[in-house]
Chains A and B, each alone.
Chain A
Amino acid sequence: MNTASLIPAPDIIPVHWAWFKVLLITTFTAHILLMNIMLGSAIIAFISAINRQSESSLISLEKEISQKNTFIIAFTINFGVAPLLFLQVLYGNFFYTSSILMAVYWLSVIFLLITAYYAAYIYKFNFDRLALNRKYAAGLSALLLLVTAFFFTNNMTLMLVPGSWVRYFANPSGTILNLSEPTFFPRFFHFVIASIAVSGLFTAITWQRKKKNGVSHSDINITRGMKYFIYATIVQFCVGIWFLISLPRDIMLLFLGREMVHSAVFLAGLFAGITALVFGFIKKVWPAAWATIISIIFMVLVRDMVRTAYLKPYFAVEKLKTIYQYSPMIMFLVATIVSTVVIIYIIRCALQVKPS
C-alpha cells in the first residue's frame, strides 16, 4: 500500500501559514515551560514525599509545590489548548490520523488529567492532614502526568511517520503505540528530564524570593532546586545526544552542518543550555533561568524543524491552500491585547493584597 495515499487531504487555511507557525511556536513555548514546571514539580514533590527522613525543609518544599501546582496545572492545560489548536490548523490531517490510531490512549488523557488535577487539589487542600499519605497523592499526580506525557509523545511521533500508519489495518481499535519509533523513548525522556531541570530551577527561584522574606529553609531548598537543575541538565545532555542520534540520519545531519540554519539554531540551543548549566554550577539562579528559557526557545524551534523534516516527503505547510480572511485574526489579536491588559489589572490587584 502506498503510504502517501493514506494521508488525508488538508483543509484550507484563512491567513498566511506563517502566522500559525508563529502562534504555534509561541504558545507551545509557554506551554512547555509550564508543563516542565508542572511535571517536574510533581516528580520532585513525590521524591520529597517518599523521603522518610521527614525533614522539615523537605516538607516546606513539598508544601510550596502543593500550593502552586494546581495553578500551574490550570495554566499548563490552558496553554496547551492554543498550540494544539494551531497544530490542527497546520498539521490536522496528520494529527487527527495519529490520534485516531491511538484513540483509546488519546482520549484517556482527559481522564488522566482530571484525576491528576484532583489529586493535586487533594494534595493541596489536605496537605497537613494527609501526613505520610502525601506520597500517594503526590505520586498519583506525578504518575498520571507522566503517562499523559507518554501518550503525547506517542501522538506527536506517530503523526510524523505515515509509514507506521499501516498498522491500523491490523489494529483499528485505537490502541497503537509507536514504540518502534527510534526517537520515541529519547524524546519522552528528553521532555521528562527537562521538566525536572526546569522545575528544579523554578524551585530555586521560588525559594530565592522566599529568602528575601526571611522564610526558613530557603537556602537549603535553593540548593536543592539547583541540584535538581544541574543533575537533570547533565542527564539531559546525554538524553539529547541519544535523541539526536536516534533521528533518521538525513534529519540528524541537518543539525550537524548540512544545513546552516538548522545547525545554527541547534547550536544556539545547545550553547544556551551549556550556559545555563554553567550558571547553575555557580548558583546564579536567574541567569541560569534566562539561559534555560533561551535554550528551550531554540529547542522548540529545533523540534519544529525536525517535524518539518519528517513530513517533507509528504507535506509542507507552504503548500497549504489559503483563502484569506484576516478580520477574524484581527478580532483575536484585539481580544488578546484587551484581555492581557485586563489580566494585568487583575494580577496587579492581587499583588496589592498583603499576605495574611
Chain B
Amino acid sequence: MPYNYIINYPVWELDFLGGGFLIAFIAVIHVYVAHFAVGGGLFLVLTEMKGYRENSFGILEYTRKHTRFFLLVSMVFGAITGVGIWFTISLLNPAATSILIHNFVFGFATEWVFFLGEIVALFVYYYTFGKMNRRQHLAVGWLYFVFGWLSLFVINGIVTFMLTPGEWLSTKSFWDGFFNPSFWPSLFFRTFMAFMLAGLFGFITSSVIKENDLRNKIQSYCARWLIIPFIFLIASASWYINSLPEPQKLMILQSSPEIPPFIKAFLFLSPLIFAGGVLMAVRISSPLKIIVTSSLVVMGLLYMGSFEWIREAGRRPYVIYGDIYSNSIPVKEIDFIRNNGILKNSRWAMNKEIDDKNQLMAGKEIFMFMCISCHSVGGPVNDIRKAAKKYSLYGMESMLTGMGKINEYMPPFPGSGKEVKALAAYIVKELNGRKDEIPSEHSIPSLKTKTFPFDPSKDQYVLLGWTGQGMHSILDNNRFFGLSNPGTTIYAQLIKRGKSPEIVTANIELTYRIEDGFDTPSSQTDFWKHSKALYGRQIKENEGLSGNKTEGKMDYDENIMAYSAADIPVVPYRKDGAYIPFPVIYIEAKDVQYGRILCSTGISVPASTEMGCRKCHGGNWAKNGVTGLSDETALDIVRAHDRSNRTDLEKLAQAGNPQMCSKCHSEDQASPDTSAKHLNLSASIHGFHANYISKNDPDPCSNCHPSSGFSKSYRGIHSNVGLECSNCHGKMEDHALSLLVYEKNKGVKSAEKLMKHLYPRLADSVTQIEPRKPWANQPDCLNCHIGFNPPDTDQSPQNMWTRDTKSLYKMRSDEAGIMCPACHGITHAEYPATNIFGDERANFQPLMYQKNRYPIGANKNCSICHTVDMKEEIHHPNMLTIFRNFN
C-alpha cells in the first residue's frame, strides 16, 4: 500500500518537559505582560493628562518612570516571549501552527506592522517625555495605545479562532475564522483585563514613590484602574462563556476533568483581586501596601493563567476546534488512520510494522506521535507515569480503546489493535516498569465438606436445593461505595419418592444453616458498618437485608411450589480469613408433626469478591493476594465517577457516607414523561465499560466478573465444553447496546452518549437491537436447546431473551412442577460442573443422590425419584437419553 502520510512532522522528545509545560510557561508569562502593555498604553496617556490637568510634576515624573519600567517589561520581555510562543508552538505542534500561519498569514503580518508602530511610538513617548510639546506627546501616547490595542484586536481573532472556528470549518474563509463566534466577547474581556492589569502594575511602580501623599494618590488612582474595569471584566466573562457553542461550553462547564480547579481559582481570585484593589484605594500602611501589591501581582498572574488554561482546555480534544486534534491528527483523517494505522501514516516513524521484537520501540514512537503533545514523562504537566500508574497492561489497552469516546477531552486513539498493544506495553512496562502479572499461586485451603448418605433402596425423600445466583459478586469494601449486598437467596424442593413422586409442600419445615466458619459474616466485611449509609437503615450484624441470618427457616412459595430463604448473608471468607468463594449451605427437611428429619443436603453458594476493577482502576487485591477490593481501587472508581460526572462521591465517602450505586442507577426509574435521569446500573456499567473494552478481547466479561480467575464462577457444563459468555449473552457491544436501548426508549438521555461509539457485532445496526431489561430479559436455554434437543449452534440467536423474571431459567418449572435448577443446577454451574474447591461444591446433589456429576435423573436414572425406570418424558422432551458430554 502506498503510504498516505498524514502525520507529517518529527516529534521533539521532551519527556520531562512534555505535555505543554513549555507553552504554558511561556504563554502565561507573555499574556500577562502583553495585556499589561495594551492597558498600560491607555494608563500612560491618561495619567500624563492627569498630571497636566492637576499641574503636578510628581504625577508626570511618576508617569515617566512608569514608562521606563513599561519599556523594559513590555518591550523586551513581552515582545520576545511573544516570539517565544510562536517558536514553541511550532516545535510542539507544527501541523497546527502551519494551519494557523497559512490561514492567517496576513493577520499575523498586520499585527507585526502594528507592533512596529508600538515600538516606534513607545520609544518616542519615553525618550521625548518632558521634551516634546504636550499636545504632540499626548498624541504619540494615544497612538501607542491604539497600536497596542490593534495588536490585541488582531491576535484576538486568531486565538479565539482556535476555540471557536465557526463557519471557517466549512468555508475556510479568513474572515469567517477571524470574526468567529467568540471574537467580540473575548476582545472585550481581554481589553478590560488589560486595563485592570495596567492598574495592577501601576501599584508596583507607585510603591517606590517616596512622597507619601503622592504615593497614596497614585495608588488610589491605580486602584480605580483595577476596580472599575474589573466589574466589566466579570460581565464580559459571562458574555464570553455564553457566546460559546454548546460543545465548548459543555466541555468547560461539565465535561473536562482538568478545568474545574481553574474555574475555582478564577472564581476564588475574583473577589480577592477586587478586595486587593479596594485595600490599595484606602489609606493603609506602606508595608502593608507592598504586601498587597506583591499578592496582587501573583494573583493577577494566576488569574490570567487560570483564564488562559480554561480557554485552552475548553477546546479539548482539539487544538483547532473541530479541525485538528491536540495531537496533530486532522479530524477528517481520523478514520483513515484508524483503518490503516498510525505508524504507516507517519513520515517520521521508523517502525512501520510491529512485531514482538520491536513492540516497545514502536510503542515509544506511537507515544511520541500521539501523546507527548499533552503528556510529559515524569514532568509537571499531565505526567503519563502518574496518569497511567494504575493501569495494568489490560487496563491501559482498555483506556486507549475507549479514549475520546465518552470523555471527549482526549482525542480518540486511532491506532490499530497492534498499535494499542504496543503503546500500552510501552507505557505500562517501559515507562512504569510494571511486570506482567503472574497468576496467583494462592493455595486452596483445606476443606471438609459435610456430605449426607443416600440409600436409594431405603430413603424416602429427595431434597433438591439450589442458589438463585450461579455467579454472585459482592463488595467486601463498602467504605467508598456500595454495589450489592452480601445476600444470597436459596431455593429447595422436597420430593417424596415413589412410582408417582410428589412435591411435598405441607407439614414439613425446611431449615438452612451455613457451614461452620461462615456464620459471622459481619466480622469479614464492612457492609454492616456502612449499611445505614448505603440502605438508609442499620442492618443488624450477621443479618441479611431480609432479616435472615446464616441459619434459619425457609418459607414456602406457592407460586413456584418451592421453599426459599432470601438474602442470607454469605461472604466468601471463613473465620480464619481463608478465601472460599463457594461456602455450603446445608438444608434440612423435617416432619413438622414428629420432628423427624426427612432429608438433608447441601448447596454450594457462590459469593465472590474477585472483581477485576483493579485492572483499570489500580490498586492491589485486598485479601490474600487473590481477591478483595482495596481502598485504592475503590477510591479510584469514585474519583473517576466524580471526575466524569461532577459528583462528590469521594467527599461523601470520606465523610462516612458512602453511596449505593443503585441509589441513582436504580432499575425501576421514573417513566419517560417524568424525570428519568440516570441509567440503570446494568446499562450504565456495561454501557460505559463496553466503550473501553477492546473488541479484540475474546473474553471481555471475565475482566470484571469473577467468571474466571481464582473464583471461576463460570464452572458448569457450558464452560467445560468451551462455550464463552458471549455464546449465550451476546457480544459485549450488543449486550451493552440492548440495555442502553431499553433506557433510551425510557427517555434516559445519557444512554445516547454511551451508545455513540458502540457498534453492534452480531446485528447490522442499532435499530436491530431489541431493548433489554436487566435481570428480566436474559438468555433463554431453549433458544439453543430448541425443544430440549441438542443445539445446532453454539451462538444464542440475537434479541431472544426471556420475557420477564418469571420466565427466567431459575424460576421455571417442568410439566410436573419441578424447577429447572433443581435437577440441572443453577446457571453458570449446570451439572456436571467443576470446582477447584472440591467436587462436592460443584455437584453436591448429583454426587449425593447418584454418585455421579450429571443432572438429577440423567442417563435414564428416573428411579432416583420414581424408584423405577420410566419410559415417558414427563418432565421435558428428550430427557430419556444418555448424557452427551461426559467428562
> In whole Å, how far is A133's beta carbon from the nearest beta carbon of chain B?
20
**Interface-located stretch among A43-51, A190-198, A228-236, A332-340:** A332-340
Given contacts A9-B5, A71-B123, contact A77 B80 (CB under 8 A): yes
Q: For residue A23, which residue of chain B has the nearest CB?
A: B109
For A353, the chain B residues whose CB sits under 8 A away are 128, 131-132
Q: Which residue of B lies closest to A168 (CB)?
A: B10
Tell me which residues across on chain A come within 8 A of B83, comparing CB atoms.
77, 81, 110, 113
User: B12 touching A335 by the CB < 8 A rule?
Assistant: no
Contact with A along B110-143 (1 / 0, CB 8 A): 1011111101110110011001100011011001
The reply to whether the CB of A22 lies closer than 8 angstroms to some CB of chain B is no
Question: Is A99's CB under 8 angstroms from B91's CB?
Answer: yes
- Closest CB in chain A relative to B844 CB, distance in Å: 63
CA distance A329 to B10 in the complex (A): 31
Which one of A71, A103, A339 lies within 8 Å of B117 (CB-CB)? A339
The one of B12, B90, B120, B348 that contacts A343, using a Cβ cutoff of 8 Å: B120
User: What is the CB-to-nearest-CB distance from A224 to chain B, in angstroms, rounded to a whole number?
Assistant: 26
B184 interface contact, C-beta 8 A: no
* Interface residue count on the B side (C-beta < 8 Å): 68
In the complex, per-residue mask of A103-123: 1 if CB is within 8 Å of any chain B CB, else 0: 100110110011001100100
Known A100-B11, A121-B76, A174-B13: A78·B102 in contact at CB below 8 Å: no
* Residue A74 CB within 8 A of the other chain: yes
Closest to B108 in A: A85
**A177 in contact (CB, < 8 A):** no
**A100–B106 CB distance below 8 A:** no
Residues of B within 8 A of A97 (CB): 9-10, 94
Within 8 A of A (CB), among B588-627: none
Q: Is A350 an interface residue (CB 8 A)?
A: yes
Contact A346 B121 (CB under 8 A): yes
Q: Say yes or no: is B646 at the interface (Cβ < 8 Å to chain A).
A: no
CB of B282 closer than 8 Å to a CB of A: no
> Of A10-18, A212-220, A305-313, which binds chain B?
A10-18
Pair B10/A100 contact, Cβ less than 8 Å: yes
* CB-contact partner of B172 in A23, A79, A323, A335, under 8 A: A323
Bound form: Cα–Cα A356–B81 in Å: 35
B523 within 8 Å of A (CB atoms):
no
Give chain A's interface residue range (CB within 8 Å of chain B). Answer: 35 or more
A35 CB to nearest chain B CB (Å): 14
Are B84 and A110 in contact, with the CB atoms below 8 A? yes
The answer to whether A74 touches B75, judged by C-beta atoms less than 8 angstroms apart, is yes
Please, how many angstroms separate the alpha-carbon atoms of A331 and B124 in the complex? 26
CB of B267 closer than 8 Å to a CB of A: no
Closest chain B residue, CB of each to CB of A96: B94
Decide if A56 is an interface residue (CB 8 Å cutoff): no
Evaluate contact between A331 and B106: CB separation under 8 angstroms: yes
Q: Which residue of A lies closest to B137 (CB)?
A: A349
Inter-chain contact B9/A100, CB cutoff 8 Å: yes
User: A74-B79, A103-B91 are contacts. A332–B143 as well, Cβ < 8 Å?
Assistant: no
Q: Is the CB of A339 within 8 A of B113?
A: yes
Q: Known: A85-B109, A172-B13. Is A75-B98 also a contact (CB below 8 A)?
A: no
Give A99 to B140 CA distance when docked, in angstroms: 39
Inter-chain contact A86/B136, CB cutoff 8 Å: no
Check if A300 is an interface residue, CB within 8 A of chain B. no
Contacts of A126 in B (CB 8 A): none
Q: Is the CB of A349 within 8 A of B139?
A: yes
B343 in the interface, Cβ–Cβ < 8 Å?
A: no
**Known interface pairs A78-B119, A347-B124, A352-B132. Does A336 touch B102 (Cβ–Cβ under 8 Å)?**
no
How far apart sit A347 and B125, CA to CA, in the bound complex (Å)? 10
Is residue B87 within 8 Å, beta carbon to beta carbon, of the partner chain?
Answer: yes
Q: Which of A58-66, A87-95, A139-147, A248-256 contacts B (4 or more CB under 8 A)?
A: A87-95
Other-chain residue from B11, B77, B91, B128 in contact with A107 (beta carbon distance below 8 A): B91
- B886: chain A residues at CB < 8 Å are none
Does B719 belong to the interface (CB within 8 Å)? Answer: no
In the complex, residue of chain B having the shortest beta-carbon distance to the beta carbon of A7: B347
Q: Which residues of B contact A173 (CB under 8 A)?
A: 12-13
Asked if B98 contacts A6 (CB within 8 A), the reply is: no
Q: Give min CB distance, A137 to chain B, whole Å.
A: 15
Convert B80-100 into 0s and 1s, putting 1 for each residue whose CB lies closer than 8 angstroms to a CB of A: 110110011011001101110
A92 in contact with B98 given A117-B80, A328-B106 (CB within 8 Å): yes
Report Cα–Cα, A71/B110, bound state, in Å.
Answer: 21
**Does B350 have its Cβ within 8 Å of any Cβ on chain A?**
yes
Inter-chain contacts of A89 with B (CB < 8 A): 101-102, 105
Complex: chain A residue closest to B178, CB-CB: A328
Q: Which residues of A contact B8 (CB under 8 A)?
A: 8-9, 93
Bound-complex Cα distance A342 to B147 (A): 10
Cα(A111)–Cα(B389), bound, Å? 35
What's the nearest-Cβ distance from chain A to residue B675, in Å? 50
Q: Which residues of A contact B560 (CB under 8 A)?
A: none
Distance from B649 Cβ to chain A, minimum over Cβ atoms (Å): 42
Measuring CB to CB, which residues of chain A are less than 8 angstroms from any residue of chain B?
Answer: 5-9, 11-14, 20, 23, 71, 74-75, 77-79, 81-82, 85-86, 88-89, 92-93, 96-97, 99-101, 103, 106-107, 109-110, 113-114, 117-118, 121, 165, 168-169, 172-174, 323, 325, 327-329, 331-332, 335-336, 339, 342-343, 345-347, 349-350, 352-354, 356
A5-B3, A82-B109, A96-B9 given; 5 more Cβ-contact pairs under 8 Å: A75-B116, A165-B10, A346-B124, A349-B124, A349-B137
- What are 24 sample pairs from A and B whose C-beta atoms fall under 8 A apart? A8-B94, A8-B347, A11-B101, A74-B79, A75-B116, A77-B80, A85-B108, A86-B105, A97-B94, A99-B87, A107-B88, A109-B87, A113-B80, A114-B81, A118-B76, A168-B10, A328-B175, A343-B120, A349-B124, A349-B132, A349-B140, A350-B132, A350-B140, A353-B132
